[in-house]
Amino acid sequence: MPFELITSAQNPKIKRLLSLQQKSSERRDSGLFVVEGQRELQHCIQAGYDVDSIFRLAGTEVDAPGAKVFEVSGEVYEKIAYRGSTEGVIAEVHTKSMRLEDLELGSNPLIMVLESVEKPGNLGAILRSADASGADAVIVCDPLTDLYNPNLIRAAIGAIFTVPCVACSSEEAISFFKDRGIQILTAQLQDSSLYYDYDMKRGTAIVMGTESTGLTDIWRKAADAHIRIPMLGRLDSLNVSVSAAILLFEAVRQRSI
């Protein structure tokens, strides 16, 4: 079956694709985002996302029923690809909006909460840990990056599609947890106890702040307990994605006993 071949980076379709990669306002206004790579695209499709368009190197096989398919030259692909190992596939996909009320939670959910996360790469790494630990959801409160940032999707290696992820305000999240009897454990150095001293077998929301400023007072006051990871060296903090992984897998350890 013949496909339109695009050989110029000045093609309007390529210009739109680059704009979606570079501008959160374009993603928001168009309701589209970019997925790069065969593995990430298949996770996306399996999660029920609607693929609008596929840009592929000539001869590359890709399974995305209903999507418009365009073949691009090697020169154009080098222009639109973030990395070389993307198996020759880049897609434009329709966004989906999930609310707190849409989350399907069991009786003792494990939820990772991030307040004002700044770096897409950190959020992507945390989503991978959330997937690996079987967390029920990741909630991003007052976000400083959109959930469809290409750097986030790349860092998550598809986990943005395998773990339910919601963006909301801190007030909304706190009310959601209180109404459902989910305990709030805030990770902070001040006025805190060691993380493994707290029962995480019950419904638990682990709340992380930014590396630079930590959590705001609204979370400190709402918390059922303040927890910390012991620091035995000269530095007083870990990368937020490393800290999140430690705390998530402590919950896994406790729940497996």
At 71, the pLDDT band (50, 70, 90 cuts) reads: very high
Q: Considering only CA atoms, which of 24, 247, 254, 1 is closest in space to residue 138?
A: 247
Q: Record the tokens describing residue 65, joined without a space.
A: 């029923």
Please indicate, yes or no, whether residues 151 and 240 belong to a single structural domain of this protein: yes
- Give residue 211's pLDDT: 72
Task: State whether 66 and 137 are in the same domain.
Answer: no
Rounded to 10 deg, the angle between the 120-132 and 240-256 helix axes is 10
Residue 2 has pLDDT above 60, yes or no: no
The whole domain housing 8 covers 4-94
Q: What is the CATH number of the domain that holds 218?
A: 3.40.1280.10
Final residue belonging to a domain, choices 94, 125, 154: 94
Residues 249 and 227 in one domain: yes
126 and 84 inside one domain: no
Q: What is the pLDDT of residue 69?
A: 92
Identify whether residues 153 and 248 lie together within a single domain.
yes
The last residue of a domain, from among 94, 126, 155? 94
Sheet holding 193-194, edge to edge: 165-168, 137-141, 110-115, 204-208, 183-187, 225-228, 193-194
DSSP character string of 79-122: HH-SSS-STTEEEEEE-----GGG----SS-EEEEEES---HHH
Asked if residue 113 and residue 87 are part of one domain, the reply reads no
Q: Within this chain, do residues 77 and 104 fall inside the same structural domain, yes or no?
A: no
Q: What are the phi and psi torsion angles at 191 (to 5°)?
A: 50, 50
Across residues 74-89, what is the average pLDDT? Answer: 83
Residue 10 makes CB contacts below 8 A (sequence gap 6+) with none
| pLDDT at residue 31, rounded to an integer | 95
Query: Which tokens in the block code for residue 143?
Result: 């976000």
Number of domains in the chain: 2
Q: What pLDDT is attached to residue 220?
A: 94
210 lies in the same domain as 149: yes
Q: What is the pLDDT of residue 87?
A: 80
Cα dihedral angle (139, 104, 29, 84), rounded to 10 degrees? 70
Last residue of a domain, one of 94, 117, 135: 94
Query: Is the Cα dihedral 63, 66, 67, 69 positive or negative?
Result: positive
Q: Are residues 131 and 204 in the same domain?
A: yes
- 111 and 85 within one domain: no
125-149 pLDDT, tens digit per residue, is: 999 999 999 999 999 998 888 899 9
3-state secondary structure of 186: strand
pLDDT of 162 strictly over 90: yes
Residues 6+ apart with CB under 8 A from 238: 229, 231, 246
CB 5 within 8 A of CB 73: yes
Is the pLDDT at 46 greater than 60? The verdict is yes
Q: What is the spatial distance between Cα 26 and Cα 3, in angstroms, rounded to a whole number?
A: 26
Binning pLDDT at 50, 70 and 90, where does residue 84 land?
Answer: low
63/39 Cα distance (integer angstroms): 11
Q: According to the model, what pLDDT value does residue 60 have?
A: 85
The whole-angstrom separation of Cα 22 and Cα 42 is 23
Q: Are residues 113 and 37 in the same domain?
A: no
CATH of the domain at 84: 3.30.1330.30
Indicate the range of 70-79, 183-192, 204-213 predicted with least confidence.
Answer: 204-213
Q: What does the pLDDT read at residue 222?
A: 97
Same domain, 119 and 237: yes
